[in-house]
Homo-oligomer: A and B are copies of this chain.
Amino acid sequence: MCDFYDPDVNVTDTVTSRLANSGVRVTGARREVLRAIASIEGPFTIEELAAALPEVGRATVYRTVKLLQESDFVCRMVLEDGGIRYELSQGDHHHHLICSQCGRVSEFVDPGLDAIIQANADRRGFDLAGHSVELYGLCAGCR
């Protein structure tokens, strides 16, 4: 579901060059949004992103995030309460641990989990295109 980034290169540069290669214009606003996303650690909301970018119109923030999402540079996650957060795409497919107390989201990878999910889909004749696993509770720091 999510793309890889070359760990040796600045994320913002990587994305802008890929964007340029795909025929999309690299504008000031887009650079700003990318910089803001890169500077935010972890998942973010449109609200947070827009707050960090007072000089960029909200509509542009929405449009840019959508663009990045469609290009797989960021991926979207839906929280337990229906709230939506985005995050820079990580290299590998992963799942989320969401703390109900502090709201922090951490990630984990478990190929065994993915395999068992695939097996469940197969067993029911379901052609699996994707899946999401979210764990809710208290993180180590909040418990």
Contacts and interface: CB of A to CB of B under 8 A. Distances in A.
Q: What DSSP secondary structure best describes chain A's contact surface?
A: strand
A44 interface: no
B133 A80 contact: no
Nearest to A139: B126
Q: How many copies does the complex hold?
A: 2
Interface string A118-143: 00110011111111111111111001
A135 B143 contact: no
A141 to B, nearest CB: 9
Contact of A124 (B97, B112, B126, B129): B97
Nearest to A121: B135
A106 to B, nearest CB: 7
A115 to B, nearest CB: 10
A52 to B, nearest CB: 22
A78 interface: yes
B133 A132 contact: yes
A135 to B, nearest CB: 5
Closest 7 CB pairs of A and B: A125-B140, A129-B137, A127-B138, A128-B137, A127-B143, A131-B135, A130-B136
